[in-house]
Structure 1
Amino acid sequence: MASSIAIRSRLVPSLLKLRSRNPRRALFSTEASSSSSNPSSKVSSSQQQSLFSDFPPPNHLPPPEAAAEAAVGKERKGLKYLSNGLIWAFTGATAAVGYTSYAYTLDEVNEKTKSFRESAMKPPPPALDSSSAIDKYQAMLYSAAIKVPARAIEMYLELRERVEEHVKGFTEPLSEKLLPDLHPSEQNVVYTLVLDLNETLLYTDWKRERGWRTFKRPGVDAFLEHLGKFYEIVVYSDQMDMYVYPVCEKLDPNGYIRYKLARGATKYENGKHYRDLSKLNRDPKRILYVSGNAFDTSLQPENCVPIKPYKLESDDTALVDLIPFLEYVARNGPADIRPVLASYERKDVAKEFLERSIEYQKRMQGQRQGRLWRR
């Protein structure tokens, strides 16, 4: 009896110490032992185990700071997507407006969008009584979505019209009459020969080692001297005044060129400077425009005499080759030069005129021989 009491007194402190180290294990072990003796305790034990397995211990939950940072990160991500979407939408709208302004005139845009704007501004048809609330809401939403782009197009047309009216003062020639009136003795007698400057009478080139250089076209001196006897010569260039006047003074020291017109006398349209021959205060029936880019730089193609552009070719004879045709026109004086130029069908006038002259001489020579044989 005394020995058993001594053993118990030794075991009790060790058991208490073990229980204090792992209370859950001790709890489960006691419950397990009790459940073996009591069947009803098995249910409570399984429920407690499932309860602990479903809910993790408190030390596994994220701290409040981490949850707040995650929420802020999601909000920033959403704002980033929204800002990128707005940037892309603005870029697309700007590109569409720029392309439309470049590719189409104001009248073309107005005509192409007229039917869409009219249909968008019409009031929507009244909803039927049998329509559901969702159908009515969809119809109202569709009408509002159509009116927004239609109104944007109208605002674009109004703004572009104002801008073009403002710019028009800088795009039209300086005057309706760019040249003074002809002398009464020259009216209906003298033709006006309009000459382009660059790539027609001369060529301007730039190189790094020497900078800008201007080269006279071969035959330009003889061209001006000979045709100055028959024509009123006018230089019409799209360059600035500070370039045109000094260059023409060096190009024509004898004064065969009567008038010089620079960029201020051109019409600016679609990104180009055009020569408007209708503003010269001359009869259009008696105007010839000679240029290396005649049909691309004039608003009156019916008055154009095309010539090969000068690109510093050493064997260029285009100006000299054109003298016979221009002299023939001045001497014969057709009532309207435009049908004469149209007969050449935009071909090389100098070459075509030479071929026609040779053919005419052959035909006349054949007629003379026929007359001699008949005699």
Structure 2
Amino acid sequence: MSALVRSRTRMFSINSININRFSSSVTTGPSKESIISSSRILNDQPPSSPTQPPPAARAEKKSWNFLKYGLIAALTGGVATAGYATYAYSLDEIDHKTKAFRASANRSIGNASSSFDTFQAYLSSSAMAVPAKLVDLYIDWRRLTEEQVRSFTDPNSDKLLPDVHPLEQHVFTLVLDLDETLVYNDWKRERGWRTFKRPGVDAFLEHLAQFYEIVVFSGKPSTDVDPVVDRLDPKNCIRYRLSRGATRYVDGKHFRDLSMLNRDPKKVLYISAHALEDSLQSENCVSIKPWQGEVEDTALVDLIPFLEYVAKHAPADVRTVLASYQGLDISKEFIERSKEHQRRMQDQKQRGRLWRH
């Protein structure tokens, strides 16, 4: 009995070993096969080709690129042409040169024309319509721009002064600058800004107001000019005041354009410490030494004899008189010429007396 049990136990153990071997071979076999087959599939798979757009999409993209670059080229050419026209030609010249071209776009098509002529005229008019409209838009834009620019650069009126009274047609106009000519503005930290009158300015204004139409012409705003003139001229010797709005703005600077005064330029004198720098008519200028607070200054008073002489003798063109003093100190040169004139007159008198004797 025991021998039978031992033999069954031995058979069971052998079968268990075989089953274990079989199961291990079965479980390891497929795992190795799956790994090998997966690597083969990945390595043997042909490379995938990139997806290409259909021919219709490529043609549409090319058409859009052509249209886009064509519009950019047309816009660039139009801007360049407008820039050159703005630089090289005035608005009136462009209007005159393009008048026939713009008229051709509006040409009417007659009813009596043949079909071919009608089609040709219609085609020509259609081709010219867009460029002609662009030219019209450019002219309107430039006219508006120039008007806006002129409102900032040109004087605020074509006639800065009212018409001369008929009884004062013979009167000369004396234009005076303000800063460093009649007054000096000084600033100090402890007191701020303060305005000082030039020595002799009261006598200068009161005396010459008898002979001249006196005008103050400053490059500052009227809000700065009017309070100073009110304190400077309590006797109203100054008839008119002109400020920055009456100047001409050129290259970042405000110039006095004496031709806009509504006065005969033959009878206009402009006195300023910076006359040749801030006036467009140098032939009408009388330069004076800039005043910056010197107590001993007599420049204004020294000019009175010359200005009185001009007003009394009324030369046909004061610009000719001023040209004879070009580069000289007018007040000193006038004294020398007056002395020389008196010597000549005395010599003539003495010769006349000797001739009578």
Give the TM-score band, short-chain normalised: 0.5 to 0.7
Mapped to 1, the partners of 2:289 and 2:295 lie a distance apart of: 14
Query: Which one-letter code corresponds to 2:160 in the other structure?
Result: L
User: Could you say which residue in structure 2 is the equivalent of 1:184?
Assistant: 166
SS at match of 1:253: coil
CA RMSD after TM alignment? 2.3
Tell whether 2:209 aligns with 1:228. yes
Q: TM-score, normalised by structure 2?
A: 0.59
Query: Which one-letter code corresponds to 1:299 in the other structure?
Result: L
User: Could you say which residue in structure 1 is the equivalent of 2:304?
Assistant: 323
SS at match of 1:331: helix
SS at match of 2:168: coil
Q: CA deviation at 1:370?
A: 2.0
Aligned residues: 222
Tell whether 2:301 aligns with 1:333. no
Mapped to 2, the partners of 1:363 and 1:283 lie a distance apart of: 34
Instruction: Give matches, 1:47-62, under 5 Å.
Output: none
Q: CA deviation at 1:369?
A: 1.9
Mapped to 1, the partners of 2:216 and 2:231 lie a distance apart of: 14
Query: Which one-letter code corresponds to 2:197 in the other structure?
Result: K
Mapped to 2, the partners of 1:162 and 1:232 lie a distance apart of: 38
User: Could you say which residue in structure 1 is the equivalent of 2:269?
Assistant: 288
Tell whether 2:186 aligns with 1:205. yes
User: Could you say which residue in structure 1 is the equivalent of 2:174?
Assistant: 193
Q: CA deviation at 1:263?
A: 0.4
Mapped to 2, the partners of 1:285 and 1:296 lie a distance apart of: 21
User: Could you say which residue in structure 1 is the equivalent of 2:347?
Assistant: 366
Mapped to 1, the partners of 2:338 and 2:298 lie a distance apart of: 19
SS at match of 1:212: strand
Mapped to 1, the partners of 2:172 and 2:264 lie a distance apart of: 9
Q: CA deviation at 1:358?
A: 1.0
The answer on whether the counterparts of 1:306 and 1:346 sit within 8 Å (CA) in structure 2 is no
Q: CA deviation at 1:165?
A: 6.0
SS at match of 1:239: coil
Q: CA deviation at 1:280?
A: 0.7
Mapped to 2, the partners of 1:346 and 1:272 lie a distance apart of: 25
SS at match of 1:260: strand
Give CA deviations for 1:119-149 in whole Å, capped at 9, x if unaligned.
xxxxxxxxxxxxxxxxxxxxxxxxxxxxxxx
Mapped to 1, the partners of 2:174 and 2:338 lie a distance apart of: 22
Identical-pair percentage: 63
With 237-246 and 365-374 compared, the bigger mean Cα shift is at 365-374
Mapped to 1, the partners of 2:275 and 2:142 lie a distance apart of: 31
User: Could you say which residue in structure 2 is the equivalent of 1:120?
Assistant: none
SS at match of 1:182: coil
Query: Which one-letter code corresponds to 1:170 in the other structure?
Result: F
SS at match of 2:270: strand
Query: Which one-letter code corresponds to 1:281 in the other structure?
Result: N
Mapped to 2, the partners of 1:249 and 1:320 lie a distance apart of: 21
Q: TM-score, normalised by structure 1?
A: 0.56
Mapped to 2, the partners of 1:316 and 1:215 lie a distance apart of: 13
Query: Which one-letter code corresponds to 2:237 in the other structure?
Result: Y
Give CA deviations for 1:198-222 in whole Å, capped at 9, x if unaligned.
0111111111121101000000000
SS at match of 1:296: helix
Mapped to 1, the partners of 2:329 and 2:145 lie a distance apart of: 41
Q: CA deviation at 1:168?
A: 2.6
User: Could you say which residue in structure 2 is the equivalent of 1:169?
Assistant: 151
Q: CA deviation at 1:163?
A: 6.7
Mapped to 2, the partners of 1:351 and 1:281 lie a distance apart of: 32
User: Could you say which residue in structure 2 is the equivalent of 1:238?
Assistant: 219
Give CA deviations for 1:285-305 in whole Å, capped at 9, x if unaligned.
111101111111111111111
Query: Which one-letter code corresponds to 2:346 in the other structure?
Result: Q
